[in-house]
Structure 1
Amino acid sequence: MSDDRQRIVDSVPQKGFFGHPKGLFTLFFTEFWERFSYYGMRAILVYYMYYEVSKGGLGLDQTTALSIMSIYGSLVYMSGIIGGWFADRIFGTSKAVFYGGVLIMLGHIALAIPGSIALFFVSMVLIVLGTGLLKPNVSSVVGDIYSENDNRRDSGFSIFYMGINLGAFISPLIVGQMMNYSFHLGFSIAAIGMFIGLVVFVATKKKYLGLAGTQVPNPLAPNERKKVFTRIGIGVLLVAILIAVGIPTGFLTFDSFVLIVGFLGIGIPIVYFTVMYRSEKTTDVERSRLIAYIPLFIAAVMFWAIQEQGSTILANYADTRTNLEFFGFTLSPAWFQSLNPLFIITLAPVFAWMWMKLGNRQPTIPQKFSLALLFAGLSFLVILLPAYFGGTDSLVSPMWLVLSYFIVVLGELCLSPVGLSATTKLAPAAFSAQTMSLWFLASAAAQAINAQVVKFYSVDTEMLYFGIIGGVSILLSIVLFMLAPKIQGFMKGIK
Structure 2
Amino acid sequence: MLSRDDIVKSVPQKGFFGHPKGLFTLFFTEFWERFSYYGMRAILLYYMYYELNHGGLGLDRTTANTVMAIYGSLVYMSGIIGGYLADRVFGTRKAVFYGGILIMIGHILLALPGSATLLFGSMFFIIIGTGLLKSNVSTIVGDMYTEEDARRDAGFSIFYMGINMGAFLSPLIIDRVYQAAGFHAGFSVAAFGMALGLIVYVVTAKKNLGLAGTVPPNPMTPAEKKKMSIIAIIAVAVIIALVLVANATGTLTVANFSLVITTLGILIPTILFTYMYRSPKTTTEEKSRVLAYIPLFIAAVMFWAIADQSATILATYADTRVNLMLGSFEISPVWFQSLNPMFIILLAPLFATLWMKLGVRNPSTPRKFSYALFFAGASFFLMVIPGMLSNGGETLVSPWWLVGSFFLAVIGELLLSPVGLSATTKLAPAAFAGQTMAIWFLASAAASAINAQLVRIYAVVSEVTYFGVLGAFAVVIGIIILIISPIISRAMKGVK
Question: TM-score normalised to the size of structure 1?
Answer: 0.90
Q: CA separation in 2, counterparts of 1:141 and 1:480?
A: 29
Which residue of structure 2 aligns with residue 438 of structure 1?
Answer: 439
| Aligned-pair CA distance for 1:394 | 1.7
Please, what is the CA RMSD of the aligned residues? 3.0
Which residue of structure 1 aligns with residue 60 of structure 2?
Answer: 61
Which residue of structure 1 aligns with residue 174 of structure 2?
Answer: 175
Which residue of structure 1 aligns with residue 367 of structure 2?
Answer: 367
1:70 and 2:69 correspond: yes
3-state SS, counterpart of residue 180 of structure 1: helix
Residues 213-362 of structure 1 correspond to what in structure 2 (within 5 A)?
A: 213-279=213-279, 287-355=287-355
**Which residue type is aligned with residue 70 of structure 2?**
I
Range with bigger deviation, 391-400 or 32-41: 391-400
Which residue of structure 1 aligns with residue 98 of structure 2?
Answer: 99
**Which residue type is aligned with residue 465 of structure 1?**
Y
Q: Decide whether the 8 Å contact of 1:343 with 1:409 is kept in 2.
A: yes
Which residue of structure 2 aligns with residue 464 of structure 1?
Answer: 465
**Which residue type is aligned with residue 90 of structure 2?**
F
Q: Decide whether the 8 Å contact of 1:308 with 1:447 is kept in 2.
A: yes
Q: CA separation in 2, counterparts of 1:381 and 1:22?
A: 42
| Aligned-pair CA distance for 1:213 | 3.6
- Superposed CA deviations along residues 112-141 of structure 1, whole A, max 9, x for unmatched, are 111111101001100000111111222334
Q: CA separation in 2, counterparts of 1:303 and 1:7?
A: 33
Pair 99,436 (structure 1): closer, same or farther in 2 beyond 3 Å: closer
Q: CA separation in 2, counterparts of 1:291 and 1:85?
A: 21
| Aligned-pair CA distance for 1:57 | 0.7
3-state SS, counterpart of residue 397 of structure 2: coil
Q: Decide whether the 8 Å contact of 1:51 with 1:60 is kept in 2.
A: yes
Which residue of structure 2 aligns with residue 449 of structure 1?
Answer: 450
1:394 and 2:395 correspond: yes
Q: Decide whether the 8 Å contact of 1:319 with 1:333 is kept in 2.
A: yes
Q: Decide whether the 8 Å contact of 2:76 with 2:441 is kept in 1.
A: yes
3-state SS, counterpart of residue 179 of structure 1: helix
5+ long unaligned stretches in structure 2? none
Q: CA separation in 2, counterparts of 1:211 and 1:86?
A: 18
| Aligned-pair CA distance for 1:271 | 1.5
| Aligned-pair CA distance for 1:343 | 1.2
Pair 6,352 (structure 1): closer, same or farther in 2 beyond 3 Å: closer
Pair 384,364 (structure 1): closer, same or farther in 2 beyond 3 Å: same
Higher RCO (C-alpha 8 Å, min separation 6): 2
Q: CA separation in 1, counterparts of 2:104 and 2:155?
A: 27
Q: Decide whether the 8 Å contact of 1:6 with 1:147 is kept in 2.
A: no
3-state SS, counterpart of residue 215 of structure 1: coil
Which residue of structure 2 aligns with residue 418 of structure 1?
Answer: 419
Q: CA separation in 2, counterparts of 1:206 and 1:483?
A: 44
Which residue of structure 2 aligns with residue 194 of structure 1?
Answer: 194
Which residue of structure 2 aligns with residue 39 of structure 1?
Answer: 38
1:111 and 2:114 correspond: no
| Aligned-pair CA distance for 1:235 | 1.6
Pair 50,17 (structure 1): closer, same or farther in 2 beyond 3 Å: same
Identity of aligned residues (%): 63
3-state SS, counterpart of residue 179 of structure 2: coil
Which residue of structure 1 aligns with residue 480 of structure 2?
Answer: 479
Q: CA separation in 1, counterparts of 2:426 and 2:19?
A: 26
Q: CA separation in 1, counterparts of 2:169 and 2:292?
A: 38
5+ long unaligned stretches in structure 1? none
Q: CA separation in 2, counterparts of 1:403 and 1:62?
A: 24
Range with bigger deviation, 419-428 or 391-400: 419-428
| Aligned-pair CA distance for 1:310 | 0.8
Range with bigger deviation, 459-468 or 145-154: 145-154
